[in-house]
Amino acid sequence: MKIAILGYGVVGSGVAEVLKVNSASVAKKAGESIDVKYVSDLRDFPDEPYSFVKNFDTIESDPEVKVVVEAIGGETIAYDFAKRAILAGKHVVTPNKALIAAHGAELFALAEKHGVHLLFEASVGGGIPLIRPYCGALLTDEIQEIAGILNGTSNYILTQMHENGTSYADALKSAQKLGYAEADPTADVGGFDACRKLAILLSLATGKTVDYTNIETEGIENISAEDFAFAAENGYTLKHLATAKLTADGVQAIVAPFLVKIGHPLSTVRDVYNALWAKAKTTGNVMFYGSGAGKLPTASAVVSNLVDIAQNAHAPHTWTAESVRILPASGYEMKKMLRVYEG
Amino acid sequence: MKIAILGYGVVGSGVAEVLKVNSASVAKKAGESIDVKYVSDLRDFPDEPYSFVKNFDTIESDPEVKVVVEAIGGETIAYDFAKRAILAGKHVVTPNKALIAAHGAELFALAEKHGVHLLFEASVGGGIPLIRPYCGALLTDEIQEIAGILNGTSNYILTQMHENGTSYADALKSAQKLGYAEADPTADVGGFDACRKLAILLSLATGKTVDYTNIETEGIENISAEDFAFAAENGYTLKHLATAKLTADGVQAIVAPFLVKIGHPLSTVRDVYNALWAKAKTTGNVMFYGSGAGKLPTASAVVSNLVDIAQNAHAPHTWTAESVRILPASGYEMKKMLRVYEG
């Protein structure tokens, strides 16, 4: 199976690397080898062994390319190329939560019309095999509540504050130094990244579009060492949760810092790890835990979607353009203005 | 899609209940309703709304029955009926780890020959959606190590001992009173149940048969309050782990009590919950957590397999009759004769 990778940044080059490193196990699972026919990037990479093209036309018009991996990011060029790939009859795999949260319904409808898949395992929870079991097992059940630690940068900062008493500012600096946080960390520490991921999970659960701009979103910028001291005194830690209760009237969704009891599985999710905690009617409580970001874990999730396509063993994970009602989140006990997650 | 349920015990009646309770979401995901055409049990259930038969012949010869759910348990009648169902061209779904651990390779080969699936999501980890992501994502990677809390009864007993200082004997009595442990608890507390589950996970990872009788298995019967005191003093708790390292020469497998650091995600797995911790080369560490047993969680996992079959979105999870070499587990630091899990 021939594929093309759009964007040779962290994830794009990671996909090429994982396909190389794991080529034997991938070929065994997929039933055929998965080969990178083209890589598209505006930059030059003379030392890399792939066939680089600067123009999407070559990829679009090559019938041998069965799958396009969109690893450009953002919602503009990525949207344009994803659409063109689908129109050209190619499957699309993307780790791009912004693209899926903003244009999911439209792209899914287009993909269905053109008989191709649009898969996005890596868009939520990075390397955690999460979308597949969430959609496979939990959606035959009735999901009642979810609570995710979905942003590695924020979780790294809160872990530093909890374990070492580091101040928010110093923990942020350390995250930037390690490459976990960008120069402008707003999307991460402000909760906007986690909010888009929550919207994707809720769209999957409801089958309809969740407008992430309607979800109450509070970042971690105002958490202080005193908050952690208060939490510790009472047997809690602080975690930045993207959480929602699913009701017949809509979803009560919020992204905000929460007190989480020490000993709760979510309390052990340290550093850049992510986790999704879910409660379903008959399955009960489940948690999926793993690397929320990172080159190889994220790339591995993209590759698992490539294998899904090769195996043709993919169950459709989509939603419609119809909107879900987003209700204010309520029912959390307030302690010193801090919400307690009792899940 | 018409199905037949063999055995109307806890799991069998649970499957019927979950199909009823979740009928709307199941039909939505499966693309068609899933109906119980027959239930086979030697006992009479005059108040139940299903069509009971005492003889397997009726089910075997009815071409309308597409899937047989084997919920009898054990390795004798279950084996015979699973085989006959496959020979009759019917898919088989089972939560029966004893059957799969003992006869997996033979039954998979038979199923392939007859163009049907044999699915067993509920056989390991009960209600945790585990087999699917383990096979889907991790097997395109290279699994290096797994460590599971795979027996709810043992974990309940250890949780009581850790949290309340209960003696082993009293904790076992309490487990029996709550229905978690049987009158003869050997299979659970002796580690034999967890050992079969570990063999299934290793067979999936290697693609070959792991003979569970060759895996070193130590139960929890000799764990004392003093061991827990020692563990606590050093920042650990005790967990009964089914663990293995996968090497080029074979698998280093063992089922035994281990010291696990407080704060490690596995340390928060309480009571009858189960979890599987895995390390894979590119994906990194992942953990799947949820209800390891219980009527509805286990039945939900069975139902998710029924939906897989209806969607025809199932990737084959099988192994061959070829044997995997089982090596002694080594490399664990010994402290007061207790193994430390450093994962």
Q: What is the pLDDT of residues A145-195, one digit of tens each?
A: 999 999 999 999 999 999 999 999 999 999 999 988 888 999 999 999 999
Tokens of A64: 């041998």
> Cβ(A145)–Cβ(A278) under 8 Å?
yes
For B88-100, b where at least 16 C-beta lie within 10 A, e where not — what string? Answer: bebbbbbbbbbbb
Cβ of B274 under 8 Å from any chain A Cβ?
no
Contacts of B288 in chain A (CB under 8 A): 133, 286-289
> Cβ(A282)–Cβ(B300) under 8 Å?
yes
Per residue, the 3-state secondary structure of chain B, as one string, reads: CEEEEECCCHHHHHHHHHHHHCHHHHHHHHCCCCEEEEEECCCCCCCCCCCEECCHHHHHCCCCEEEEEECCCCCCHHHHHHHHHHHCCCEEECCCHHHHHHHHHHHHHHHHHCCCCEECHHHCCCCCCCHHHHHHCHHHCCEEEEEEECCHHHHHHHHHHHHHCCCHHHHHHHHHHCCCCCCCCHHHHCCHHHHHHHHHHHHHHHCCECCHHHCEECCCCCCCHHHHHHHHHCCEEEEEEEEEEEECCEEEEEEEEEEEEECEHHHHCCCCEEEEEEEECCCEEEEEEEECCCHHHHHHHHHHHHHHHHHCCCCCCCCCCCECCEECCCCCCEECCEEEECC
Contacts of A129 in chain B (CB under 8 A): 133-134, 136-138, 283, 286
pLDDT confidence bin for A343, thresholds 50/70/90:
low
Cβ of B267 under 8 Å from any chain A Cβ?
yes
> Cβ(B300)–Cβ(B11) under 8 Å?
no
- The closest alpha carbon to A238, from A253, A252, A254, A223, belongs to A223
Write down the catalytic residue from A37, A197, A245, A279: A197
Contacts of B264 in chain A (CB under 8 A): 268
Tell me the mean pLDDT in the region A77-95: 98
Q: How many beta carbons lie within 10 A of that of residue A249, not counting itself?
A: 8
pLDDT confidence bin for A293, thresholds 50/70/90:
confident
Residue B226: exposed, middle, or buried by beta-carbon count in 10 A (0-12, 13-18, 19+)? exposed
Cβ of B207 under 8 Å from any chain A Cβ?
yes
Tell me the mean pLDDT in the region B149-174: 96
Q: Which of B25, B285, B287 sits opposite A142 (nearest CB)?
A: B25
Q: How many beta carbons lie within 10 A of that of residue B334, not counting itself?
A: 9
Instruction: List residues bridging with B68 in a β-sheet.
Output: B4, B92
pLDDT confidence bin for B151, thresholds 50/70/90:
very high
Contacts of A285 in chain B (CB under 8 A): 273, 289-291
pLDDT confidence bin for A339, thresholds 50/70/90:
low
> Cβ(A249)–Cβ(A327) under 8 Å?
yes
Q: Which of B128, B263, B282 sits opposite A18 (nearest CB)?
A: B282
Cβ of A25 under 8 Å from any chain B Cβ?
yes
Catalytic residue annotation of B: 197
Cross-chain residue pair B315–A281, CB shorter than 8 Å: no
pLDDT computed for residue A332 by the predictor? 66
pLDDT computed for residue B332 by the predictor? 67
Nearest CA in chain A to B278: A290
Residues 132-161 on A with a CB inside 8 Å of B are 132-134, 136-142
pLDDT computed for residue A271 by the predictor? 95
Q: Which of A129, A264, A281 sits opposite B133 (nearest CB)?
A: A129
Cross-chain residue pair B18–A282, CB shorter than 8 Å: yes
Tell me the mean pLDDT in the region A322-330: 91
Cross-chain residue pair A268–B273, CB shorter than 8 Å: no
For B227-253, b where at least 16 C-beta lie within 10 A, e where not — what string? Answer: bbebbeeeebbbbbbbbbbbeeebbbb
- Non-local (6+) Cβ contacts of A234 within 8 A are A259, A335
d(CA A307, CA A3): 12
- Residue B128 main-chain phi, psi, to 5 deg: -75, 125
pLDDT in tens, B196-216: 999 999 999 999 999 999 999
Reply yes or no on whether the pLDDT at B79 is more than 90: yes
> Cβ(A236)–Cβ(A258) under 8 Å?
no
Count of residues in chain A? 343
Cross-chain residue pair B136–A307, CB shorter than 8 Å: yes
Count of residues in chain B? 343
pLDDT confidence bin for B282, thresholds 50/70/90:
very high
pLDDT computed for residue B331 by the predictor? 66
Nearest CA in chain B to A18: B282
Cross-chain residue pair A284–B265, CB shorter than 8 Å: no
Tell me the mean pLDDT in the region B16-45: 95
Nearest C-alpha of chain B: how many angstroms from A164? Answer: 15
Contacts across the A-B interface (CB distance below 8 Å): 180
Nearest C-alpha of chain A: how many angstroms from B57? Answer: 31
Cβ of A128 under 8 Å from any chain B Cβ?
yes
- The closest alpha carbon to B128, from A203, A289, A90, A241, belongs to A289
Reply yes or no on whether the pLDDT at B263 is more than 60: yes
pLDDT computed for residue B160 by the predictor? 97
pLDDT confidence bin for B328, thresholds 50/70/90:
confident
d(CA A147, CA A198): 9
Nearest CA in chain B to A136: B304
Reply yes or no on whether the pLDDT at A333 is more than 60: no
Cross-chain residue pair B22–A141, CB shorter than 8 Å: yes
Tell me the mean pLDDT in the region B149-162: 97
pLDDT computed for residue A132 by the predictor? 86
Nearest CA in chain A to B313: A313
Nearest C-alpha of chain A: how many angstroms from B276? Answer: 10
Contacts of B297 in chain A (CB under 8 A): 282-284
Reply yes or no on whether the pLDDT at B334 is more than 70: no
* A315/A179: higher pLDDT: A179
> Cβ(B24)–Cβ(B37) under 8 Å?
no
Reply yes or no on whether the pLDDT at A334 is more than 60: no
Query: Does ipTM surpass 0.95 in this model?
Result: no
Query: How many Å is the Cα radius of gyration of chain B?
Result: 20
> Does the pTM of the predicted model rise above 0.90?
yes
pLDDT computed for residue B140 by the predictor? 87
> Cβ(B244)–Cβ(B150) under 8 Å?
no
Q: How many beta carbons lie within 10 A of that of residue A110, not counting itself?
A: 17
- The closest alpha carbon to A339, from A262, A225, A261, A258, belongs to A258
pLDDT confidence bin for B329, thresholds 50/70/90:
confident
> Cβ(B315)–Cβ(A129) under 8 Å?
no
pLDDT computed for residue B156 by the predictor? 97
Cβ of A289 under 8 Å from any chain B Cβ?
yes
pLDDT computed for residue B333 by the predictor? 56
